[in-house]
Amino acid sequence: MIGPAERRYPGGSLVVPAGALTAAVARGPCPRSVGPAGGTDRGSGLRRGVSRALLLRPDMNGPIRKWLLVSLAFLVPLGFACFTSHIWEDYLITLRSSRNLVAGQGLVFNPGEFVQTFTSPLGVLAPAFCTWICGIGHETAAIWLFRLASAAALAGAALLLWRRSGDLALGRFGRFVLFGLLLADPKLADFASNGMETGFLVLFTVLLWSELEAPAGSRVSVLALAFAGLMWTRPDGFVLAGALVLPHLWPGRPESGAPRVGRRTLGRAALLGGLFYAPWFFWSWSYYGSPVPHTIVAKAALAPTSDWLNRLLLPLRLVGHGSPLDDLFLPAYWRAGGWPSAGIDFAHVIGALAALAWLLPGLPAAGRRASLTLFIGAFYLGSIHLYPWYLPPWTALAAVALAFVVDAAAVRAAAAGRRWWRAAVIATAMLTVALQITLFLCVAWQVRIQQRVIEDQGRHVIGEWLHEQAATGDRVFLEPLGYIGYYSQLKTYDVPGLSAPEVSLAMRSGVKTYADLITRFNPEWLVLRPGELQREGISREWMLARYRLAKTVDNSLQLRAVNFLPGRPWLEWDARFLVFERLDHRPLPR
């Protein structure tokens, strides 16, 4: 590790004692020197370039700055949760299984049906533990306990990033961009506090990245912990792990600045990490009949169809619009509309830059590897139905790559003695972080309105109403499974069948429309948006021949009363719900 009295040039090949800086400056301009390829170094030569570059790098390892950033990483998601009170739909899908486990009914959505309706083992066991501590029926206390654990995981990730960025001699402008983009990422703050497993996923991602970049070499035990943690957090964690490891196995001479990670070390770590994950793998296989979560099977029906040609053309897609990385620095479900096009274009540019920065000459090795990891991951993200909570670990890697890009540009500007260039780099870095903070504030306001109007006055109300009106054994067909499924406690036929294997099986066999699914399963209750009736071509006559309108929940007026509401179309889609009851339904008293 480089001590406080010396600095490493960003290329990773030169360490200059701080005491030599004064002598280098005192010598003044030096002649053009012959470079390693036979050319000449521009400007005043390498010594002057390094000395000027070092002026950009005051000591950034002060404990005050470090603990301030770690504290912010802990407090930002908690502050976001205090302001918004947001509880995500999918958390309540998972919580129903967690609650049943605590109640002694098994880790299942419906007692007696052994279906894995959650994706993350850690994401279901941690809420179960919190529910056990706080007691069934104390959902607010349980999720706050979970939020504290998730925020602590993010704080741990920030600490790892701080330490490793210091080892890699990332300068102050680079760190400003890194932590500015990370701490002000609205998706990270939201999904690390609304009940999802995102905080832990980012922690294990950063742990693996940090250990792979360790100057003293990677430790098998830490790599194994990171591998196992990624798998316990998401069953596709091996994809993220593989994308991080592959750049370190790139053929050719080892990059300066970090030792090559040995294949034997990686193999032992993968084996040990697999042993750590094996208990869940084999238990879930025996309990549910498959080690693959049913949620993955159900969502596969929604995956975009893509041929090999489109996948091979991914680099061109990264440059143009429609890239799978467009979502990295944009709000959840931004494609619904209501966001300024200039902000969308800017997010597209920095996302593409982060993924293609490994092609830039002279970028430090750690920056190239982070960028190449993101580029590799884009092939995977472009082949699945991309949900917003999948993105924060990839956004963190994009922030690392962009931090090295900004840092390298600042160093080159200082080495060349071009003040305007340096000023442009500083202005760009500050603008980028300022836009991220602005986006964070806008998303926080949007999510606050969503929770109060859409969730608390909408789906939550529908779930409790169904719980009161429906009979034991009744079934409900719907798409938004979380709030309605949790508070109604009914048997659910959801689209795409996260809680109902029979629905996903029917969809895979070609039964796609809501009308066909409703006809096949004949549920007692339907919960539909007006837009779904139009989209699915369900006529008024068809519906009235089978069902009657039992309840309408319309919160569109409350949304219209909010003058400033970024992303308004996404909330408007969920503002109105129609609850239908089957005409021949005669519910028995509970």
pLDDT in tens, 438-472: 999 999 999 999 999 999 999 999 999 999 999 99
Domain with CATH 3.40.50 in the chain: 448-582
Q: What is the pLDDT of residue 53?
A: 40
Whole-Å CA distances, 580 to 171, 185, 229, 547, 587: 60, 40, 44, 6, 14
pLDDT in tens, 518-570: 999 999 999 999 999 989 989 889 998 999 999 999 999 999 999 999 999 99
Q: What is the pLDDT of residue 258?
A: 54
CATH of the domain spanning 448-582: 3.40.50
Q: What is the pLDDT of residue 308?
A: 67
Residue 40 identity: T
Residue 401 identity: A
Q: What is the pLDDT of residue 275?
A: 97
CA 411 remoteness from chain centre = 31
Residue 160, pLDDT above cutoff 80: yes
**Per-residue pLDDT band at 261 (split at 50, 70, 90):** confident
SS3 call for 526 = strand
Mean pLDDT of all residues in 136-147: 96
Mean pLDDT of all residues in 458-487: 97
Residue of 266, 206, 265, 570 whose CA lies nearest to 393: 206
Mean pLDDT of all residues in 108-136: 96
Q: What is the pLDDT of residue 259?
A: 60
pLDDT in tens, 396-418: 999 999 999 999 999 999 888 88
Q: Is the peptide bond before 496 cis (omega within 30 degrees of 0)?
A: yes
Give the burial string for 435-453 (b: 16+ CB within 10 Å, else e).
bbeebbebbbbbbbbbbbb
Q: What is the pLDDT of residue 252?
A: 54
Compute the distance between CA of residue 448 and CA of residue 81 in angstroms, rounded to an integer: 9
Give me the percent of the chain exceeding a pLDDT of 70. 86
Q: What is the pLDDT of residue 17?
A: 38
Residue 324, pLDDT above cutoff 50: yes
Q: What is the pLDDT of residue 286?
A: 97
Compute the distance between CA of residue 478 and CA of residue 127 in angstroms, rounded to an integer: 24
Partners of residue 17 on adjacent β-strands = 6
Mean pLDDT of all residues in 290-303: 88
Max avg pLDDT among 34-48, 54-68, 506-520 = 506-520
pLDDT in tens, 180-218: 999 999 999 999 999 999 999 999 999 999 999 999 999
Q: What is the pLDDT of residue 317?
A: 76
Residue 224, pLDDT above cutoff 70: yes
293 by Cβ neighbours in 10 Å (0-12 / 13-18 / 19+) ranks as: buried
Contact (CB, 8 A) for 56 and 411: yes
What sign for the dihedral angle of Cα 385, 389, 393, 396?
A: positive
**Per-residue pLDDT band at 318 (split at 50, 70, 90):** confident
Mean pLDDT of all residues in 424-437: 95
Whole-Å CA distances, 352 to 182, 219, 235, 448: 17, 32, 27, 30
Write down the mean pLDDT value for the chain.
87
Owner of token pair 């200082």: 414
**Per-residue pLDDT band at 254 (split at 50, 70, 90):** very low
Whole-Å CA distances, 447 to 76, 82, 146, 155, 331: 15, 12, 19, 23, 10
Q: What is the pLDDT of residue 589?
A: 52
Mean pLDDT of all residues in 137-154: 97
Residue 118, pLDDT above cutoff 60: yes
**Per-residue pLDDT band at 120 (split at 50, 70, 90):** very high
Compute the distance between CA of residue 111 and CA of residue 123 in angstroms, rounded to an integer: 20
Residue 28, pLDDT above cutoff 70: no
**Per-residue pLDDT band at 25 (split at 50, 70, 90):** very low
Q: What is the pLDDT of residue 133?
A: 97
